[in-house]
């Protein structure tokens, strides 16, 4: 496939400097690109590759210094967004949005026709298990009516357990479990742990993507809810009755404890940990490896364990770094004070 620079510039509303009739046949990273490739540059850290890149064309930020005459430039306000728009339109492999693999298990209750709870253009890949036999907790029957919306893509070996609901355009990657039992126990008079029945469900709204090996627990009562547009990375644990607000992003190895509510447009970076029964308002960013031990009611950036507003946490970090020097200084001051006291006693 060959695509002209003129067509690409029109797609991303870019300005061309160089040969607008040039055709490219592939896209590549700036350090790996060869003749015939299109690349992009948006971070200063990658500018070191510009003098040596073999790409035929490059997408750059408006005003970029064009120091080479052997390459065609496309200037845009956001090179990375422009580049990935091109990748999405021209270079993303088609995936057949239809079909259920014969090895997938789809449970249907006697009252439902085959596939009655599965929407249009749904892919359910090999080894998936959708629903399970109904089970009884203390005379309470859990419904097995899993509902899956339209245009969903479920990769291999995914489990979606009883009574859980997926909206439209949901992507779930391999090994993920939706609707595992919440971690709920009571200690009896013998100090033994007794399981608390987890009879709620999980609701995943439209345009959500779950990475591989994500575990989302069903609610004890009611629903664990992943709201529209959330993006969840690999190896994330979301406990029972958690609510994630719209367009919130959760990075790898993050854990969210039970009944915690996270607002809209939040970012939880890698290995963040949130205790249970707290609330994060909209537009909160938790940096990597931070521990959130209480509710955050003000938008902004937070870091550390316990997590604090980032400027406060950074000041504390500086002081911690200087603790050995502080200790030496305090010891010297204590010695000086002792000398002064001894001197006063002698007079």
Residues with catalytic function? 240
112-151 burial code (b ≥16 CB/10 A, e <16): eeeeebbbeebbbbebbbbbbeeeeeeeeebebbbbbbbb
Backbone angles phi, psi at 32, to 5 degrees: -105, -10
CA distance 70 to 57: 9
Contact 130, 157 (CB under 8 A): no
As a whole number of angstroms, the distance between CA 332 and CA 251 comes to 46
The full length of the chain comes to 347
Burial track 225-263 (b if 16+ CB lie within 10 A, e otherwise): bbbbbbbbbbbbbbbbbbbbbbbbbbbbbbbbbbbbbbb
Quick one: tokens of 37?
A: 């490739």
- Which residues, 6+ apart, have CB-to-CB distance to 27 below 8 Å? 37, 38, 39, 83, 86, 87, 91
CB neighbours of 145 closer than 8 A, spacing ≥ 6? 109, 112, 117, 131, 162, 163
d(CA 249, CA 209): 10
Long-range contacts of 287-294 (CB under 8 A, 24+ apart): 288/251
């Amino acid at each position: 496939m060959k695509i002209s620079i003129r067509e690409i510039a029109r797609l991303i509303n870019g300005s061309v400097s160089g040969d607008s009739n040039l055709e490219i046949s592939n896209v590549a990273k700036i350090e790996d690109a060869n003749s015939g490739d299109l690349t992009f540059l948006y971070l200063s850290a990658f500018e070191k590759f510009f003098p040596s890149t073999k790409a035929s064309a490059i997408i750059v930020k408006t005003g970029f210094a064009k120091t080479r005459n052997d390459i065609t430039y496309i200037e845009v306000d956001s090179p990375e967004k422009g580049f990935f728009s091109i990748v999405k339109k021209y270079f993303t492999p088609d995936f057949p949005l239809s079909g259920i693999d014969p090895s997938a298990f789809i449970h249907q209750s006697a009252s439902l026709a085959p596939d009655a709870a599965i929407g249009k253009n749904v892919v359910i890949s090999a080894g998936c298990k959708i629903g399970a036999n109904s089970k009884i907790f203390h005379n309470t029957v859990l419904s097995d009516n899993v509902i899956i919306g339209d245009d969903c893509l479920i990769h291999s070996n995914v489990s979606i357990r009883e009574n859980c609901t997926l909206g439209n355009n949901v992507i779930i990657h391999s090994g993920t479990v939706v609707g595992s039992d919440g971690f709920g126990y009571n200690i009896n008079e013998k100090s033994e742990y007794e399981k608390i029945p987890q009879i709620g469900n999980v609701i995943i709204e439209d345009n959500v993507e779950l990475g591989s090996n994500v575990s989302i627990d069903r609610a004890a009562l009611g629903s664990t809810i992943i709201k529209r547009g959330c993006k969840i990375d690999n190896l994330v644990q979301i406990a029972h009755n958690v609510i994630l607000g719209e367009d919130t992003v959760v990075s790898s190895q993050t854990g969210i404890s039970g009944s915690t509510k996270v607002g809209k447009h939040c970012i939880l970076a890698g290995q963040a940990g949130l205790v249970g029964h707290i609330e994060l308002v909209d537009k909160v960013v938790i940096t990597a490896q931070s521990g959130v031990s209480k509710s955050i009611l003000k938008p902004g950036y937070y870091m550390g364990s316990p997590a604090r507003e980032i400027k406060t946490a950074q000041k504390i970090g500086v002081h911690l770094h200087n603790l050995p020097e502080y200790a030496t200084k305090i010891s010297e001051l204590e010695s000086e004070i002792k000398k002064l006291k001894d001197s006063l006693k002698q007079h």
